[in-house]
Every structure is written in C-alpha cells, then in structure tokens.
Structure 1
C-alpha cells in the first residue's frame, strides 16, 4: 500500500470510527444501528487488511474491540432493565409447571435468581431432559436457558428474545424469535431457530440451522457450522410472517467473526455439509 493509499484508508477509517463513536454516545443509544455501523467498519478493515502495515492493523483491531465492548455493555445494561428484571416483594420461588409442558415421567428444575444480574432463567440446571415450552407461555416473552446438559428443548410460539448460556450436548429447536438470539459458553450443541439478529460468544463445536435477516456475529468461537433453517411444521408460514421474517430472505451463511479481520475465510466457522445436516 502506497503512502497515498494509506492516507486515504486512514481518512476513511477515521470517519467510520467517529460514526460508531457518535452512535454509542449519549442516552437512548440504538444498538442495532451502532452494531450495523460497527460491522461496516469491520468489513472495511478486513477488506484492506492484506495490504495494511502491521501496526495500523493492530490499532484498527484494537479500536474495533473497544467499540464492540462498548455496544455490548450498553446492551447488557438495557437487558438488565428489561423483562428479566424483577423485585423481591415475593420471596417464594416461581412455579415453573405453569410455564412449561413437561414430558411424562420427567422432572423440571426450578428457575432461580442470578443475583449478579437480577435475572430469572426460564430453565436451569437440567440434565438428560426433553421439555417443550408451550406457545401460550413463550410468545412475546424473553426465554433464557442456562446450564443445560444432554437435553432437548422444543420452543413453541414466538418468543420476544432468546438467551442461551452454558449449554452442553443440547438440542434447541424453535420457530421464529421476534428480535434477537444470544448465545454464550455453549458446546457441542444444535440450534434450530429463526430471528432478526444472532450473537454467538465463546462457543465451540455447535451447529446452527438459521433463518435470519441480518449477519450473524461470532466472537471467541471455534468449529461452529452453519446451515439454512430446515424445520417444517404446520404453523411455520404464519409464525414467520408474524415475526416479520420473510421466508424468501435468509442470510444464514453471512457470518462476521470479530476475531478474524482477514478477507480470507475465518477458520472458526464453516458451512455444514449437506450430507451432515439433520432432518427435522
């Protein structure tokens, strides 16, 4: 890259960085708009990475990480103030049996408070279970699955948002989610879902069958594989329409890896071969 080209790059980089900084400043930050601007910044750096001096690439990567962290902090703060928040006026544990349809002969682990966040998981501490969350109880609600192992969870209806943390050898099967799906610390699991946005953090050896209208964001992930949503069920067309997801538009293979700024394919994710895909 010549000095003239480098100067042009740095000028454009500064404009893109300033745009993101402006979007995350002040009150009432729109994190969706800020994330889109950050994705544009990340792509711009990725496209120019092969010809950039090493020190400029490191500086750009550092700035992207700081901006991404800022957006995540704002989202976490907003989430704490959202639907998961509850008061301590009632000391009794919630009754999960009214929320879930339990399979015959199986036990459900009661949800408990996570003090550091003030959140209430929908399901927590399950092993070797198969559970269906009924559509009447899931629709327009935030669902949080935490610390599950070797379990299958079927989510009916249209949740408002879906959060999944600390899942091991699980299978999560759902329809559309009205807004976003967030995963963290998941291992060797299968996820079948439709959504507007998806963020995957610190997860390994997971397969995703997605219908999504934006780019997927991954960070600190390894051996994740992606395929198009392939589940067929009677209410599919109606539910996807109600969730504002067009069945003809699917960006399941558009992945932004925040740990990989090269224009070459990230080694942290791949397309799931057709002969390896499960049938639903």
Structure 2
C-alpha cells in the first residue's frame, strides 16, 4: 500500500516550533518518522518548486523574445523603407536626412542592448548582425549620395632626387597618388593626417569644424584636435595619443594598438584593437568588436574653448556611458567580457600636457 507523507507546521507554542508529518491522513510527530523519509519528501517538494519556477522563467523569456522580435523587426523594416527613399531627397537635405535616420538606428541599437538580459544568446547575435548590416547600408548609401572628395597628393619638385623617386614609383607600377607620403589633409569636407611617424600634430577648431576628420597610419604620434568635427575616423595607430573635442556624431576606430585616445562623442565603435586606453565621454553605449585588452576611464581633456565646443556640438555633458561597453564578441549577459575593463583610478592620467 502506498504511503502518503505530508510535512506540516504545527502550532507555534512560546518560542518553540515543532513539526508534524501527515501519513495517510494521520498527523504523526516528525521525530517519530525516519529522517530519510522526511528528507526525500522535502527534496521532492524542492524539485517540484524548482521545475515550476523554471517553467515560469522559460515562459517569460519566450514572451520577451517574441515581443522583442516583433518590435525590432518592425522598426528595422521602417528604417530600411525610409532609407530606400534616399534617392528622392533633395541634395541640400541629404545631410539632415542621414543624420536623422542614423539617430533612429542608434535608438534601435540601444533598445536591443537594453533587452539583452531578457533574450537567449542566438536572438542577441541575430539582432547584432542585423544592426551591423543596417548601419553598413546607411553608410554605403550616405557615401553614394554624399561622396567625400578624393584626396590628391601633389608632389613638389625638389631637384633631381625627387624626380627620380617619382620615376621609380611609376616604373614599378605605382600611381604617384598612391605612393606613401606624409600628408596633412584639409579640404572642404574633410581634414586629417596620414602616414606620420614620431610627430606632434594638431588642427585648429576652424580647420575641423563640422568636417569628417581622418587619422590613418600613424606611429608614435600625438594628435590634438581642439574643436568640434562632425565625425572622426581612425585606423592603423601604433603607440599614439589622440585628443579630440566634442563630436556630435560617431568615432570609428580600427586597428588601434598600444595607444591612448581621449574622446567625447555620441557613439564609439572600436574594431580590431588591442592594448588601448580610452578616456571617454559617450552618450550612447560604446561598441567593441574583435578587440582585446582595452581599458576605459572618464574623458578629462581640458582646453580653452572646450565649453564653447560642447555648446556647438550639442553633446549632453550630463550623460556619459563611459563605463558601459557592448562587446559584440561576448554574448553572455550574466558575465563581464574579459576583453575590456575600467582603468584603475590610481593609473589614470589626471592632467594632460
């Protein structure tokens, strides 16, 4: 005959509480029942409760995932449909058009980031892939309709030696424009430096105002950019220090090795970088991908016109997500990514030269 066992609390008397066990409808004092039987019963109740809780959690996760997928896909489709109308926008309105559509995409990115704690890893990865494709599509269409002016590096005549170098470059099939030359770039829509080594470089606020700034192929250089450019593109840095005033748009950093970057911007995306330090003011969650051993601290560069540049950029000084980094290569939301960390306070530079 099966024995039905139920453990119940008895009446509390004074400061002492005793338990009874219900066996086939009869209350028997717990101390008269074999401990093993009571323990098995309690373990069974614990398993039942755990299974119930697990089913509830799975239900919540599934409902959250379904809601997220519906909302995310609807907003992504809306952005893609709007982007498809870019060819019909008047050229004078294109810059505002792309700024607006990028801002909407960034809000969608923030929504996806905020939902990661409620989503399974495959849904997170799918959203990240779709966001990458979306931003790529926006940038490609922007480049198509608002192309940046191509840079042509002029070679000054400096005697027979320079002429011979130019002839040698042509002999081996190199276009003179493509031959590596130290250059400072200043055009109507862009500014920057390329192919520099062991130099102190700077551009004035007037030279970078509302321009896309590009820094490429720099080694052991210090670059100071007081002012407010519209965007900053960085690639192939080694042992460099980069300082920039508030940027209303994005900073894209690729292949930054053993370098320090002091930046204020709306969005930061870091790729293929290692052993870098970022002193950062960013108003949205920064992103790293294929990046290791990077450390973050708050932005702390001061210069004479900083307050004015903040006002002109429209960057919100009260909002700084410098310590909230999204690692696209790390999907576990319950564990910190090993690829980035916070720079200890006693190791932070307090004042820059």
Paired with 1:150 and 1:84, the residues of 2 have a C-alpha distance of 31
Larger Rg, first or second structure (1 or 2)? 2
Task: Tell me what 1:4 maps to.
Answer: 59
Q: Which has the higher helix share?
A: 2
Does 1 or 2 have the higher relative contact order (CA < 8 Å, sep 6+)?
1
Could you tell me which residue of structure 2 aligns to residue 70 of structure 1?
133
Counterpart residue number, 2:201? 131
Please say if residues 23 and 33 of structure 1, whose CA atoms lie closer than 8 Å, have aligned partners that are also in contact.
Answer: no
| Equivalent residue number for residue 85 of structure 1 | 148
Matched, 1:146 2:221: no
Deviating more after overlay: 70-79 vs 132-141: 70-79
Whether 2:305 is the aligned partner of 1:235: answer yes
| Secondary structure at 1:260 match in 2 | coil
| Number of aligned residues | 252
Question: 1:225-260 deviations in whole A, cap 9, x for unaligned?
Answer: 111111122212121111112333322112122222
- Tell whether the 8 Å contact from 1:42 to 1:64 is kept in structure 2 after alignment: no
Under a length normalisation based on structure 1, what TM-score does the superposition of the two structures give? 0.79
> What is the CA–CA distance in structure 1 between the aligned matches of 2:197 and 2:342, rounded to whole Å?
29
Report whether the alignment pairs 1:200 with 2:285: no
* 1:220 paired residue number: 290
Unaligned runs of 5+ in 2: 1-53, 87-97, 157-180
1:64-120 deviation line (CA, Å, top 9, x unaligned): 2431231232243145247662269xx66399xxxxxxxxxxxx81269xxxxxx97
Q: Deviation at 1:122?
A: 2.5
2:191 & 2:209 partners in 1: Cα distance?
16
What is the root-mean-square deviation in Å for CA atoms of aligned residues?
A: 2.7
CA distance in 2, matches of 1:62, 1:251: 22
Does the 8 Å CA contact 1:24/1:70 hold for their aligned counterparts? no
CA distance in structure 1 between the partners assigned to 2:330 and 2:275 by the alignment: 18
Residues in 2 aligned to 1:121 and 1:244: alpha-carbon distance in whole angstroms: 21
1:166 aligns with 2:221: no
- Change in Cα spacing, 1:23 to 1:222, as seen in structure 2 (3 Å) is farther
CA distance in 2, matches of 1:83, 1:146: 21
The verdict on how the C-alpha distance between 1:218 and 1:16 changes in structure 2, with shifts beyond 3 A counting, is farther
